[in-house]
Amino acid sequence: MLKFTVPGEPYGQPRPRFSAVNGKVHTYNTDESRNYKTQVKLIAQTAAREQGWTFAETEGIGMKVYAYMSIPKSETKKFHAAAVAGDIRPTKKPDVDNIFKAVSDALNGVLYHDDRQILLSRVEKYYSDEPRVEVEVFIVRKELS
């Protein structure tokens, strides 16, 4: 199993942007999206090297993503305490599927060949005073499938 943490506010993959150049439509990602994916990729590469992760060429992959979002400063102390305790969970953007997509796209070609290898996923959102995304990646063994 490989574990790593991406510091900062969780980021959700936005819809692709389109532009027309000389009558041809081009699809592109925003600078913010590219920067976030680069950050995830670099942290994952370092963690893989330190934890001895072997590149998964054909194996099935499982991935757990825990997104810790900052608590709004406008909220009460009571809300803050409940949020830190996990009694209140965020229902605001970004959506869990967009958070997962940003992370899984960033890890393509880094920890595994392609994100189509992901057989199992779990994404959860929480509040925290320390916003971050914690990622766990593991090989799905036959007995677990």
- Rounded CA separation 107/121 (Å): 14
The least confident of 24-38, 41-55, 57-71 is 24-38
Predicted local confidence at residue 145, as pLDDT? 42
3-state secondary structure 65-128: EEEEEECCCCCCHHHHHHHHHCCCCCCCCCCHHHHHHHHHHHHECCCECCHHHEEEEEEEEEEE
pLDDT, tens digit (0-9, with 9 covering 90-100), for 82-98: 999 999 999 999 999 99
Average pLDDT of 14-29?
74
| pLDDT, greater one: 32 or 47 | 47
| Percentage above 70 pLDDT, the chain | 95
Please say if the pLDDT value at position 23 is more than 90: no
Residue listed under structure tokens 């766990």:
136
| 67 closest CA partner among 97, 109, 30, 35 | 97
pTM: 0.87
| 3 closest CA partner among 140, 136, 139 | 136
Predicted local confidence at residue 55, as pLDDT? 87
Please say if the pLDDT value at position 60 is more than 70: yes
